[in-house]
Homo-oligomer: A and B are copies of this chain.
Amino acid sequence: MRTALVIGTGLIGTSAALALASRGVRVHLRDHDPERARTAAALGAGTDDEPPGPVDLALVAVPPARITAAVAAAQRQDLARAYVDVGSVKGALRADLDAHGCDPTTYLGTHPMAGSEKSGPLAGSADLFEGRPWVLTPTSVTDTEVLNLALELVSLCRAVPVVMDADAHDRAVALVSHTPQLLSSMVAARLEKADETAVRLCGQGIRDVTRIAASDSGMWLDILSANPGPVADVLEELAVDLAGTVRALRGLESVPAADAGAADEDGKAALALSDVLRRGREGSARVPGKHGQAPAAYETVAVLISDRPGELARIFADAGAVGVNVEDVRIEHATGRQAGHVQLMVESRAAQPLAAALRERGWALRTE
């Protein structure tokens, strides 16, 4: 790939343009707001001059509602050999493109699994896609050359290509992205009118579950509106679990613990509860951790720190001094105090040496 045209210089378009430009591709930038294209150009993402002739690849990175029109217009003007979009939902889009007479041989629907809370060209970054899955949804009529140009794009952005059927993609993101988002919102929504005292009891668990509920509502409304069927399917499955759990809890509530005749009912309710907890454990074990692997069994070394600047630096320096690689880290802040625990996740064989080294250097450890 020697030339590319990026249509839409928001976060995704600008990031891809920066990656392509940094790897020697001549990138042309276009946006409905010329100021944004100029900004992206000023960041080094390419030029906002019009391309002199058809480019190798046109990357359409406009909001969902405008993708069809943008692809159709670009194909009509014969701007490129291949047309690729980056919308987060793929099935309905394909039908819409067909309805608008787009050429399915030169178009390929893709979805990079990357983003940021920020948007616009200034949020762009050449390494936004680094190591992230980038879904490609070729069909039987997609030109091989077009698929290869898209694979080159993914490779130049240092992402990991994943080929999927468009509808399978939509079902997958409903499962791993759209459903968690909605359930995070629904758990958080319960706090909207909760007593202040109850809210004080929040711990790390609810903090993790509700983190993404703080995301931009407008963006999520667009995403969910574009994928209603698959999301509703997953939510309906979840509603069955939810109803079964409520039923089990009500059963436990109404049965006096001492009533021997009710032991059967009690046992059934407990079984329903443990079943959902068990399936949750099995499912959570499948969530990839780092490097796309199943979460490794790291050991945690928990260290008490004060809130003074430099405490984290000291701790990581001390860990580094004994050659231990910290695989993950979590800071757990104590409520109401200027202190907290740092949990250092390390490989099992490194936990004991690390704990010993930190103790020797005067750190207070929590045994976990």
A-side residues, CB < 8 A to B, are 113, 116-118, 122-125, 127-128, 130-133, 135, 158, 160, 162, 164, 168, 171-173, 175-177, 179-192, 194-195, 197-203, 205-215, 217-218, 220-221, 224-225, 228-229, 231-232, 234-239, 241-243, 245-246, 249-253, 270, 273-274, 276-292, 304, 307-310, 312-317, 319-321, 323-326, 328-329, 331, 333-340, 364, 366-368
Q: Are B235 and A246 in contact (CB under 8 A)?
A: yes
Distance in angstroms from A160 CB to nearest chain B CB is 5
A282-B199 contact, Cβ under 8 Å, with A229-B253, A238-B242, A333-B289: no
A274→B221 contact, CB < 8 A: yes
A176 and B198 within 8 A (CB): yes
Which single residue of chain B is at the shortest CB-CB distance from A232? Answer: B249
Question: Could you tell me the distance between the alpha carbons of A142 and B183 in the complex, rounded to whole angstroms?
Answer: 41
Asked whether, in the complex, the Cβ of B127 is within 8 Å of the Cβ of A366, the reply is yes
For residue A231, give the distance in angstroms from its CB to the closest CB of chain B.
6
Number of this chain's copies in the complex: 2
- A–B complex contacts, Cβ < 8 Å, 20 sampled: A118-B368, A130-B337, A131-B337, A168-B195, A168-B198, A172-B194, A172-B197, A175-B190, A176-B203, A180-B210, A185-B280, A191-B284, A192-B279, A208-B209, A214-B285, A229-B250, A235-B245, A239-B242, A292-B336, A309-B325
Which 8 pairs, one residue from A and one from B, show the smallest C-beta to C-beta distance? A131-B334, A185-B280, A313-B320, A290-B333, A131-B337, A172-B198, A191-B283, A188-B283
With a cutoff of 8 Å between Cβ atoms, the chain B residues found around residue A290 in the complex are 333-334, 340
Alpha-carbon distance A209/B364, docked complex (angstroms): 30
Q: Are A133 and B367 in contact (CB under 8 A)?
A: no
Q: How far is the CA of A207 from the CA of B307 in the complex (A)?
A: 27
Given A127-B304, A183-B186, A184-B209, 8 new contacts (CB under 8 A): A125-B368, A168-B195, A172-B195, A176-B206, A205-B211, A208-B209, A291-B334, A313-B321
A250 to chain B: which residues have CB within 8 Å? 228-229, 232
- Take A118-B368, A197-B162, A304-B127 as given contacts and tell me if A184 and B280 are in contact as well, using a CB distance cutoff of 8 Å: yes
Q: Is the CB of A180 within 8 A of B197?
A: no
Give Cα A299–Cα B272 distance, bound, in whole angstroms. 44
Task: Tell me, rounded to whole Å, the shortest Cβ–Cβ distance linking A48 to chain B.
Answer: 20
Chain B residues with CB below 8 A from A323, complex form: 309-310
